Copies of this chain bind each other. A is one copy, B any other.
Amino acid sequence: MPPTVTPVTVRDEDLAEIKWNDDGLAPAIVQDATTRQVLMFAWMNEPSLRRTLSEGRTVFWSRSRQELWRKGDTSGNRQWVREAYYDCDGDVLLFVIDQEGDGACHTGATSCFYRRFGGDPT
């Protein structure tokens, strides 16, 4: 069954609130819509944000490759946007998504945040 796509209306009034950093980027937090687990963190520029909203799946800016990176195009681990938020200062983005495939992390883990300070509880 194909995934359900729920695009978000791209409104000028929202985009006008976003303050990009000196590199034209903003941090993007990705959270699972069902488990509420924080899955990953990446960066977006304005084109990637517009595509994320209009396509209803996450598109980031790869700082290492200096190119748009549509999550899951290679891995199949696509992220379907259900809700998208920006913070009080307009300089951080939050996406609540349904994760397709194995997980969000390139290691194969569900979440990139699988290492715990102090070690796992005994």
Contacts and interface: CB of A to CB of B under 8 A. Distances in A.
Nearest to A52: B117
Number of copies: 2
Contact of A114 (B9, B11, B40, B85): B85
A112 interface: yes
For the residues of A in contact with B, the DSSP-based class is loop
Nearest to A91: B41
Interface size of A as a range: 35 or more
A83 interface: yes
Contact of A84 (B10, B35, B36, B118): B118
Interface of A: 8-11, 14, 17, 27, 29, 31, 35-38, 40-41, 53, 83-89, 92, 94, 105-107, 109, 112-119
